[in-house]
């Protein structure tokens, strides 16, 4: 075998001129473990590495690209090369990156410039990743080079934040000390990004910028820690002191912006809210560093400038989210209460209960802008809560009720009567509601039955049902159209209108094509919400029926479209079947016909209920426990009287004691059996339903278990097979009789038990 491989030198030679498929093949061949061979190291692999280095140093961009990929493959699959030549390769890649960075504008102007940067950075990141945590390698090769690499990356991060920031983030987290000298430079780059281009970055990059900004606060603590440890050991120093100051400085930035909103809404009408706003953390005057953002320029005469308020708040929330959600090497202290009250304040900024300032009420345009920014401001609070709940889960349990009542403030109501939901506004806030449902779902998994305030939930159900209908874009058009037509008829300009309406023909003939459909993500989230709601509460019939209708029609539609019913819909159908609420009939038949060929365990069980076999024994035990001794004596007597065959047997008391459980079951007492009859069926039915919930099939395990129990209890060597036969027979009998009238059930059980006794007695 060992002689049949292609020599690495051959591959290396071909590497230079290979293209396309050949290059792919060479890379796949190099992955082979054959090349991890110490004998090859000096001759063959050395040659390979020199070839790669040559490629990396070549002035041809394509060769450079090939070199990058080959070095990554070689380092990843060949530990020998990684440990001997890894540093060399990394240095080569880095030097090319630095070179290209210096001529950034000319490189990026070429057609493949961006791709080249991408390759260089990613291959460098991979090699760094491979080298990390390997003590000698990182000490000898990696760390010294990082001092050179980091400034280059920081320079590049101004131009290509999307590519560079993930690498820098990793470096910041892992090699915090090495990063230390460059922190200030990086901070200026990041603040520049935040101040000037933040809105133009993609949402992923925005998150990266914020994450990096937060990670800058990992740095100082090591220094301060050591200092403190030496000078004042008695002083308790938390590892996260710097992190916390960063967090608090962001948190304190909110208050001035919130106070700005006081220019729009009359906060003084609501004392509670006013107090809450007052209690928000103030900006620390001494700490100027956090205050790098320019002041907001708002002008009521130019209403669109007001949009800066939600934008600024959104930026703060982004940064705060980074601070509270990022993994850190040390435990951090998060002011959950402060964040909670901040969110509460943000959600309190609405014009539902607070009036606008008097002087603003006349300007229509201004009012329009205010109406549109208020939900956005509230939404920032919801985002904060969403992160808080997803990261800290049950730690915020005490806030949950408050969160729910605040969420109610977000649901837009009609002005005239404050009870009805304004669905036209709801329609425009779909994304925001998506976040709300995610938040609610996360909370409800913790709360469940505990929750008493159902009014929010029923409102949210209405919203969910409204938003999960397909939205037509042209409804309003038709409404307006009618008015137009009338006017046109009046003015007799029909000729003119005809010529313009030609373009509209599609709208009239195929209105179904102008529809916004819901994404699967949305439906999944909504379904989860409905499932928890149905599991926890009995709804009034209107929303219940609407949910039923929604689930049935949607799952049928999706079944036709996708060929299967998505998991979340199956879950919803399940809980609808298990919790029929006020319905007289569950939708079991409909659900089953929808899920016909899916072999769903639960529905299978509901259609063909199986009996857990061990039940009968467990059922009778409580009876025995109370009157054990009396019953025992009575049994003996009765057995003697009734059973002739028993009289000849030696009246062995021990045997009786051993058999007592079973015997108690067996004795056909007329007074007892009649009420038991009812009980049995009742419990039997109940149990099956419960079992279904747990998806617990009545399995063979149980049978075996029962057998074991009986043998132990009897204390005597009972023939195991016999018992198995008995239990099976019982099960069969019960199953058969289940479909028919219930009165047949118990006699069957009783009979079998009697038989069992007879056998034992014999």
Residues in contact with other proteins by CB under 8 A are: 540-542, 544-546, 548-549, 552-553, 580-588, 590, 606, 681-682, 685-686, 689
Task: Choose between 395 and 682: whose C-beta lies nearer to other proteins.
Answer: 682
Task: Choose between 545 and 631: whose C-beta lies nearer to other proteins.
Answer: 545
The counts of H helices and E strands in the chain are: 39, 2
Task: Choose between 653 and 674: whose C-beta lies nearer to other proteins.
Answer: 674
Task: Choose between 67 and 609: whose C-beta lies nearer to other proteins.
Answer: 609
Provide, rounded to whole angstroms, the least separation between the CB of residue 577 and other proteins. 8
Task: Choose between 435 and 458: whose C-beta lies nearer to other proteins.
Answer: 458
Provide, rounded to whole angstroms, the least separation between the CB of residue 581 and other proteins. 8
CA-to-CA distance for 310 and 254, rounded, in angstroms? 11
Scored b (16 or more CB within 10 A) or e, 299-324 reads: ebeebeebeebbebbbbbbbbbbbbb
Provide, rounded to whole angstroms, the least separation between the CB of residue 616 and other proteins. 18
Provide, rounded to whole angstroms, the least separation between the CB of residue 580 and other proteins. 4
Residue 159, token pair as written in the block: 């131009």
Task: Choose between 204 and 685: whose C-beta lies nearer to other proteins.
Answer: 685
Provide, rounded to whole angstroms, the least separation between the CB of residue 736 and other proteins. 18
Residues 187/195, Cβ–Cβ less than 8 Å: no
Task: Choose between 485 and 678: whose C-beta lies nearer to other proteins.
Answer: 678
Q: Which long-range contacts (CB under 8 A, 24 or more apart) does 35-39 make?
A: 35/5, 35/8, 35/78, 36/77, 36/78, 36/79, 36/80, 37/80, 38/80
Residue 177, token pair as written in the block: 């000390």
**Which segments within 511-663 are labelled E, that is strand?**
515-516
Provide, rounded to whole angstroms, the least separation between the CB of residue 610 and other proteins. 15
At a CB cut-off of 8 Å and minimum separation 6, what does 237 contact?
A: 224, 225, 228, 229
* H or E element in which residue 516 lies: strand 515-516
Task: Choose between 128 and 605: whose C-beta lies nearer to other proteins.
Answer: 605
Reference 548, options 523, 573, 584; nearest CA is: 573
Residue 582: exposed, middle, or buried by beta-carbon count in 10 A (0-12, 13-18, 19+)?
exposed
Provide, rounded to whole angstroms, the least separation between the CB of residue 727 and other proteins. 24
Other beta carbons within 10 angstroms of residue 356's beta carbon come to 16
User: What are phi and psi for residue 356, nearest 5 degrees?
Assistant: -70, 160
Provide, rounded to whole angstroms, the least separation between the CB of residue 669 and other proteins. 23
Provide, rounded to whole angstroms, the least separation between the CB of residue 690 and other proteins. 10
Provide, rounded to whole angstroms, the least separation between the CB of residue 361 and other proteins. 24
Maximum C-alpha span of the chain: 116
Reference 408, options 363, 350, 448, 465; nearest CA is: 350
For 23, 27, 393, 425, the CA distances from 65, given in Å and listed in that order, are: 11, 13, 46, 52
Task: Choose between 148 and 607: whose C-beta lies nearer to other proteins.
Answer: 607
Q: Mapping DSSP to helix (H, G, I), strand (E, B) and coil, where does residue 416 land?
A: coil
CA-to-CA distance for 210 and 314, rounded, in angstroms? 12
Task: Choose between 62 and 478: whose C-beta lies nearer to other proteins.
Answer: 478
Task: Choose between 198 and 684: whose C-beta lies nearer to other proteins.
Answer: 684
- Outline where 283-353 has alpha helix (H): 308-325, 336-348
744 CA to centre of own chain: 50
Provide, rounded to whole angstroms, the least separation between the CB of residue 162 and other proteins. 47
Provide, rounded to whole angstroms, the least separation between the CB of residue 519 and other proteins. 24
Task: Choose between 419 and 510: whose C-beta lies nearer to other proteins.
Answer: 419
């Amino acid at each position: 075998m060992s002689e049949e491989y292609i020599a690495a030198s051959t591959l290396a030679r071909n590497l230079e001129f290979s293209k396309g498929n050949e290059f792919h093949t060479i890379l796949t061949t190099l992955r082979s473990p054959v090349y991890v061979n110490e004998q090859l190291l000096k001759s063959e692999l050395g040659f390979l590495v020199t070839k790669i280095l040559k490629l990396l140093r070549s002035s041809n961009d394509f060769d450079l690209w090939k070199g990058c990929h080959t070095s990554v493959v070689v380092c990843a699959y060949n530990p020998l090369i990684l440990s001997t030549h890894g540093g060399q390769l990394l240095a080569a890649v880095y030097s090319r990156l630095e070179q290209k960075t210096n001529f950034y504008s000319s490189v990026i102007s070429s057609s493949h410039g961006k791709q080249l940067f991408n390759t260089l950075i990613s291959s460098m990141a991979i090699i760094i990743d491979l080298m990390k945590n390997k003590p000698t390698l990182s000490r000898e090769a990696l760390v010294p080079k990082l001092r050179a690499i980091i400034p280059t990356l920081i320079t590049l991060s101004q131009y290509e934040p999307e590519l560079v920031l993930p690498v820098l983030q990793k470096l910041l987290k892992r090699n915090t000390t090495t990063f230390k000298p460059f922190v200030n430079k990086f901070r200026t780059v990041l603040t520049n990004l935040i101040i000037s281009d933040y809105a133009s970055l993609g949402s992923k990059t925005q998150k990266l910028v914020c994450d990096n900004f937060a990670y800058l606060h990992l740095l100082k603590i090591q220094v301060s820690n050591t200092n403190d440890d030496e000078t004042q050991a008695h002083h308790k120093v938390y590892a996260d002191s710097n992190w916390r100051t960063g967090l608090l400085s962001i948190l304190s930035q909110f208050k001035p912006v919130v106070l700005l909103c006081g220019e729009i809404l009359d906060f003084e009408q609501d004392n509670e809210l006013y107090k809450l706003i007052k209690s928000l953390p103030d900006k620390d005057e001494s700490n100027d560093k956090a205050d790098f953002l320019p002041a907001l320029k708002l002008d009521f005469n130019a209403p669109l400038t007001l949009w800066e308020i939600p934008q600024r708040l959104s930026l703060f929330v982004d940064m705060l989210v980074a601070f509270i959600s990022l993994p850190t090497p040390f435990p951090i202290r998060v002011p959950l209460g402060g964040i909670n009250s901040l969110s509460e304040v943000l959600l309190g900024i609405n014009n539902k209960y607070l009036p606008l300032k008097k002087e603003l009420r006349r300007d229509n345009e201004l009012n329009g802008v205010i109406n549109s920014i208020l939900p956005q401001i509230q939404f920032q609070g919801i985002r904060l809560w969403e992160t808080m709940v997803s990261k800290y889960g049950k730690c915020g349990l005490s806030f949950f009720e408050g969160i729910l009542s605040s969420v109610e403030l977000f649901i837009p109501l009609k002005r005239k009567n404050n009870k009805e939901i304004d669905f036209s506004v709801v329609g425009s806030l779909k994304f925001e509601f998506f976040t709300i449902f995610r938040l609610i779902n996360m909370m409800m998994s913790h709360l469940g039955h505990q929750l008493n305030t159902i009014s929010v939930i029923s409102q949210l159900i209405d919203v969910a049902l409204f938003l999960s209908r397909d939205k037509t874009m042209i409804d309003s058009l038709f409404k307006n159209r009618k008015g137009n037509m009338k006017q046109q008829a009046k003015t007799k300009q029909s000729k003119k209108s005809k010529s313009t309406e030609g373009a509209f023909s599609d709208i009239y003939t195929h209105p179904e094509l102008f529809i916004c459909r819901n994404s699967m993500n949305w439906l999944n989230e909504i379904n989860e919400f409905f499932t928890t709601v149905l599991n926890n509460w009995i709804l009034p019939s209107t929303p219940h029926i609407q949910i039923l209708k929604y689930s049935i029609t949607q799952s049928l539609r999706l079944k036709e479209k996708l060929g299967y019913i998505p998991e979340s819909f199956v879950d919803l159908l399940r809980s609808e079947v298990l919790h029929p609420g006020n319905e007289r009939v569950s939708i079991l038949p409909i659900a089953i016909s929808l899920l016909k060929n899916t072999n769903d365990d639960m529905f299978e069980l509901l259609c063909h209920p199986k009996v857990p076999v061990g039940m009968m024994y467990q059922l009778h035990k409580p009876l025995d426990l109370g009157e054990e001794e009396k019953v025992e004596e009575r049994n003996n007597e009765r057995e003697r009287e009734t059973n002739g065959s028993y009289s000849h047997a030696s009246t062995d008391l021990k045997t009786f004691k051993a058999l007592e459980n079973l015997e108690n079951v067996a004795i056909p007492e007329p007074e007892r059996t009649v009420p038991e009859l009812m009980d049995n069926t009742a419990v039997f039915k109940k149990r099956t339903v419960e079992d279904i919930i747990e998806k617990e099939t009545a399995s063979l395990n149980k049978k075996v278990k029962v057998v074991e129990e009986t043998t132990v209890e009897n204390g005597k060597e009972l023939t195991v097979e016999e018992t198995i036969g008995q239990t099976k027979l019982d099960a069969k009998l019960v199953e058969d009789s289940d479909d028919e009238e219930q009165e047949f059930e118990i006699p069957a059980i009783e009979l079998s038990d009697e038989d069992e006794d007879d056998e034992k007695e014999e």
